Amino acid sequence: MLKNKIMVVEDDPDLMEMISFKLDNEGFKVDRVVSGRQALDRIAVNVPDCVILDVMLPDIDGLTVLNEIANHSETKNLPVIVFSNIADQASIEQVEAIGKYDYLVKAQTDLSQLVDLIKKRLN
């Protein structure tokens, strides 16, 4: 059985390690990405099954990345879960304005909840 490929776009190495470990243990293939530009470049070559996307990234912010994903025919239906520490309503509304994407606040989300949402989006 083929493993679903999950792209994790996260610049915090400790959090990247925790998320990757959890997803590996759940049977997913993890593609680790540390910047918005790197995410867009990799998606252009090989579209993953789902993207976990931080907002605050060192180069291109996650909302710009999300806009790019939403505005391309090959990726517009790609499940993206925005996973950020920004908990303000304005940021959530920005994501909702781009499309039907999920928004989870890191400090309020257990990694098991993240995995459950990934599985829900893939089915």
Over residues 71-82, the mean pLDDT reads 96
Q: How confident is the model at residue 1 (pLDDT cuts 50, 70, 90)?
A: low
Task: Locate the domains of the chain by residue range.
Answer: 5-122
Q: Domain 5-122: which topology? A: Rossmann fold (3.40.50)
Give pLDDT, residue 10.
97
Q: Compute the average pLDDT of residues 85-109.
A: 94
Question: Six-digit token pair at 40?
Answer: 């867009």
Strand order in the sheet with 102-105: 29-33, 5-9, 50-53, 80-84, 102-105
13-64: pLDDT as tens digits: 999 999 999 999 999 999 999 999 999 999 999 999 999 999 999 999 999 9
Query: What is the mean predicted confidence (pLDDT) over 94-108?
Result: 95
